[in-house]
Structure 1
Amino acid sequence: MNFTLVHLDISAVSTLQKLAQKTFFETYAPYNSAENMQQYLDTNFSIKKLKEELSNPDSVFYSALNTENKHIGYIKVNFRTAQTDLQDQNTMEVERIYILQEFQGQKAGQFLLNNAIEIARKNHVDNLWLGVWEKNIKAIAFYKKNRFKDFATHIFRFGDDEQLDILMKFEL
């Protein structure tokens, strides 16, 4: 399947919100309480919060479109002070990379990750990094297949639950 990468700006905030909420819910709802899920969706994917993120010059959002021009997934990359953990000028964070469930297994995730690597190269960073929930075995295997290596962990607060994220990086 062919995909097209499109930059998402503030004019696409409602499209981004629907995509972000749906992909996050599909990925994590089976493993978390309904209360924690709803709180996270309301807080982190509100129009106000997404507008703030889209307005940050150190954060960039892209969406993958399929051949019918449907938004099927997205990626958020962070530079400099927008990074959620590391604050290194020579790194780029892939904060979010999500694909709608119905399009998983069609190489859309690989398409987005390949583009993230290319964006990192164009920005002359030393490496790109990301955090992935320790229980997301499928994602961890995907990143390892793509030459990401574990380098640390951190706690991710999800409502009243503390979850462990594995930090992984790809050296350019």
Structure 2
Amino acid sequence: MEKFLIKECTLKDIESIKSIGKKTFYETFAKDNTKEDMEKYLKESFSYEQVKSEIENKNSIFFIVKDNDEVAGYMKINFEGAQTEPDHNNSLEVQRIYILEKYKRKYIGEKLIQKAIEIAKDNNLDYVWLGVWEININAIKFYEKQGFKKFGTHIFIVGEDEQIDNLMKLKL
């Protein structure tokens, strides 16, 4: 198995997060969304100002995964008020895990989920939760394999399109 470095991000990593965020979101979802919705989402979600504010949020942590000098993927986790849904007290949200297509099936996703679980346990949290698009069957199967179970849904907006995410939880 290949060796990948998982590194916590700082403000010095804004450009890396912007770049990997745009690439991985596009690779994953462009085929299922309009060009206009994709452009709007990428512009808003991965602007310098947006990424900077997310990295500066004390209740969020970004991690990038590097393969030598190339960024292969990333994860963003949220605590407390940074979470995308209210009422998830004493929990950790995995808001994003994205891996470049050429690095999929190399166990990076598993390593990132394990990192999130480890952080949640270290902080005596009750569970880890996340949202995954209801049509992203491969991702749903991946999370189920990690022990996550569906407990609800919420709306996720890409551009102007309201999409349904399955909310999934892993009790610790």
**TM-score of the superposed pair, with normalisation by structure 2:** 0.96
Question: In the TM superposition, what is the alpha-carbon distance from 1:70 to its structure 2 partner?
Answer: 2.1
Give 1:56's aligned amino acid: N
Aligned position for 1:30:
31
Moved more, 30-39 or 79-88: 79-88
Question: In the TM superposition, what is the alpha-carbon distance from 1:34 to its structure 2 partner?
Answer: 0.3
Q: In structure 2, what is the Cα distance between the partners aligned to 1:132 and 1:62? A: 19
Give 1:54's aligned amino acid: I
Q: In structure 1, what is the Cα distance between the partners aligned to 2:115 and 2:88? A: 21
Aligned position for 1:134:
134
Q: In structure 1, what is the Cα distance between the partners aligned to 2:90 and 2:8? A: 22
Give 2:70's aligned amino acid: K
Give 1:24's aligned amino acid: F
Alignment of 1:139-154 (within 5 A): 139-154=139-154
Question: In the TM superposition, what is the alpha-carbon distance from 1:113 to its structure 2 partner?
Answer: 1.1
Q: Is the 8 A contact 1:81 1:87 kept in 2?
A: no
How many residues align structurally? 171
Aligned position for 2:120:
120
Deviations 1:130-165 (A, max 9, x none): 000000000000000011000000111222211110
Give unmatched runs, 5+ long, in structure 2: none
Q: In structure 2, what is the Cα distance between the partners aligned to 1:5 and 1:123? A: 19
Give 1:13's aligned amino acid: I
Give 2:163's aligned amino acid: Q
Alignment of 1:5-154 (within 5 A): 5-66=6-67, 68-154=68-154
Q: In structure 2, what is the Cα distance between the partners aligned to 1:97 and 1:86? A: 20
Q: In structure 1, what is the Cα distance between the partners aligned to 2:37 and 2:132? A: 18
Aligned position for 1:3:
4
Q: Is the 8 A contact 2:95 2:131 kept in 1?
A: yes
Q: Is the 8 A contact 2:39 2:159 kept in 1?
A: no
Aligned position for 2:161:
161
Give unmatched runs, 5+ long, in structure 1: none
Moved more, 102-111 or 129-138: 102-111
Percent identity between the aligned chains? Answer: 43
Q: Is the 8 A contact 1:10 1:51 kept in 2?
A: yes
